Structure 1
Amino acid sequence: MSSRPTKNQGPPPTVPTRDKSLVQRFMAVAKTLQFAWFTGHAVVLISSILYLFKMSECYYRLVYLGVIESFGIIIYQQFFTRNEPLQTQDAAATKASVKSRIAGLLKSEDVLYLVLAIFWLATPRFSLSLIPFFAFAVFHVLIYVEKVIFPKVFLLSSKDSSKILSFIDRFVVQYNDLCMHWVGTAELLIFILVLFRAILCFQRSWIMLVVYAVFIKLRYENSKYMKAAFAQWRVRMDGIISHPSVPPYVKRAYNAVKMSLVHLSEFRLSGTPQATKKQN
């Protein structure tokens, strides 16, 4: 799952937290960049739910504006607030630093999802594309409410004494990894639908197919959840194709496609994998 801001951009408190009113505590939290990140995910969550009931173009576009805002904040913090200067006396070191940042951008799932959100915003509506962003928003909103809103605004800090905090903590721990597996499966399903749309020549469908294929390739290279989704689909398809009733020419075509995908997986768009990289 996408990371969240770790820097609190608001001013440090000048008086003890408990001496402030509820409004003062909320305003102190609302002044942080972290709260702006949370607001973006809240917009995604609320707009997605409203879109489910009303199917309004406005809510659909609003979801992606929220995604762009929240993921944009993460990328700004990760790649544009470093103190490390690019200009050094050593030209080789400067070049290496630039290459390192570019490689980091290619491997960052936050950058990947930001680019995808901009693409979905600029293309005809495709409702199923909202699923991964809705899933991310649910967990990011819950985590922020648990870690920031309740402790800093409502002064609830103990999971043992607060049933709400205890419930949120158990929900996130129990379903976070499972949700990421669902997201990987949903993204593969979306790719299949995008492929069929391209075959049927929907508006801008071939552009969608190319862009989303690159997205899936980069996700496969850097996400253990996407790799698990591919493996799960492969096992199921192998079982279906191996059935005696499946014609031999279908089996040959399936094996040819499978081997092509295996060879394609050996070519990396995002460079050499990092041994210590935490996959999301």
Structure 2
Amino acid sequence: MDTTQSGKPTESKATPAPAGAAGARFVKLAKSLQFAWFVGHAIVLFSSVLYMFTFKEWLYRLVYLGVVHSFGIIIYQQHFLKTVPRDTASLLTDENILYFALATVWLFTPRFTISLIPYIIFSLFHFARYLQNNFLPVVFGLTRENSGIIQNLTNFTQNFNERCMYWVAGVELTTEVILLLKALVWCRRSWILFPLYSLFIKIRFENSKYSRAAFAQWRVRLDGLISHPSVPPVAKKAYDFTKTKLIQLSSYQLTKPTLSPQAAEAKQN
């Protein structure tokens, strides 16, 4: 997910506030659906900070309630307020639906703290952009020209968004590996979570440049590690077999036309 392109309401950017009481402007702003979306991201951010200090389960659940709330508003806007019909294939490529469905799974399954990281990062950028484009200009009349706060928020979102999205993809791939290991040792509900999350990773690989970059980076690193002379031949053979099967699997597309195995390998390279 690129937070500059999706995961936010389709309302226009706010103009600087006219003269008047800040409280009245805030009340007017708070009545919008976009503000409700912003509140969801605020819940995610502040609950996750408290959770990292206390690890209380109710805070973990509250984070995901905030996620479901904010992503649910986007889905409501895109698929219920608009009259343009969407086919099933397009629903599979809708990042908001994908992350909403995944958050619902995490909400009702045993705690898995690493799963919070992508949502925290998404909420951080959406929260910052709403302050920058809506809250501060509307309520306080601030602009980039007269406010260092807005300038700093703008610099942050412009300079770190792309980098963090690549990092999110790496975290998601790490999560897949951890779920695989948990499934191999028969952890609670692991054989339910692992296939569901694998489906999520497959769809992300097909549609996200960040996910494909994470796979490519891992492949280069693993190729280097496995090629070391100290690695037993049986391990190298197992690695080559697994890599080949994954390349073949990538040729079967869920959301796009099917690629040949040769084309899939070329795409990964």
TM-score by length of 1: 0.87
Structure 1 position 19, deviation (Å)? 3.5
C-alpha separation in 1, matches of 2:156 and 2:45 = 17
- SS of 1:18's partner is coil
C-alpha separation in 1, matches of 2:145 and 2:219 = 44
Structure 1 position 3, deviation (Å)? 2.8
Structure 1 position 200, deviation (Å)? 1.2
> Which of 224, 239, 242 is equivalent to 1:254?
239
Structure 1 position 72, deviation (Å)? 0.7
Structure 1 position 101, deviation (Å)? 2.6
Task: Please list, as runs of the form range in 1=range in 2, the aligned pairs for 1:74-89 lying within 5 A after superposition.
Answer: 74-84=74-84
**1:62 aligned partner:** 62
> Which of 178, 189, 194 is equivalent to 1:204?
189
**2:103 aligned partner:** 117
- SS of 1:208's partner is helix
Structure 1 position 269, deviation (Å)? 1.4
1:240/1:142 Cα in 2 relative to 1: closer, same or farther (>3 Å)? same
Residue 248 (structure 2) pairs with residue 244 (structure 1): no
The answer as to whether partners of 2:17 and 2:140 remain within 8 angstroms in 1 is no
- SS of 1:117's partner is helix
C-alpha separation in 2, matches of 1:245 and 1:160 = 60
C-alpha separation in 2, matches of 1:18 and 1:173 = 27
Structure 1 position 231, deviation (Å)? 0.3
Matched to 1:34, the amino acid is: Q
Greater relative contact order structure (CA < 8 Å, 6+ sep): 2
**1:4 aligned partner:** 8
Structure 1 position 78, deviation (Å)? 1.3
Residue 218 (structure 2) pairs with residue 233 (structure 1): yes
Q: Which stretches of structure 1, 4 residues or more, deviate above 6 A after TM superposition?
A: none
Task: Please list, as runs of the form range in 1=range in 2, the aligned pairs for 1:166-205 lying within 5 A after superposition.
Answer: 166-205=151-190
Task: Name structure 1 gaps, 5 residues minimum.
Answer: 9-15, 85-96, 274-280
Residue 32 (structure 2) pairs with residue 32 (structure 1): yes
The answer as to whether partners of 1:79 and 1:101 remain within 8 angstroms in 2 is no
**2:43 aligned partner:** 43
Structure 1 position 81, deviation (Å)? 1.5
> Which of 110, 117, 124 is equivalent to 1:131?
117
Structure 1 position 55, deviation (Å)? 0.3
C-alpha separation in 2, matches of 1:17 and 1:234 = 51
Matched to 2:121, the amino acid is: A
- Matched-pair identity in %: 49
**1:21 aligned partner:** 21
Structure 1 position 225, deviation (Å)? 0.3
Structure 1 position 39, deviation (Å)? 0.6
- SS of 2:87's partner is helix
Residue 268 (structure 2) pairs with residue 264 (structure 1): no
- Give the number of equivalent residue pairs: 253
C-alpha separation in 2, matches of 1:212 and 1:42 = 26
**1:13 aligned partner:** none
Coordinate RMSD, CA, aligned: 1.8
**2:128 aligned partner:** 142
Matched to 1:7, the amino acid is: E
Task: Name structure 2 gaps, 5 residues minimum.
Answer: 259-269
C-alpha separation in 2, matches of 1:107 and 1:18 = 40
TM-score by length of 2: 0.90
Structure 1 position 17, deviation (Å)? 4.5
Structure 1 position 137, deviation (Å)? 0.6
Structure 1 position 83, deviation (Å)? 2.6
C-alpha separation in 2, matches of 1:234 and 1:18 = 55
- SS of 1:6's partner is coil
Task: Please list, as runs of the form range in 1=range in 2, the aligned pairs for 1:93-108 lying within 5 A after superposition.
Answer: 100-108=86-94
Deviations 1:114-151 (A, max 9, x none): 00000001101111110100010110000000000111
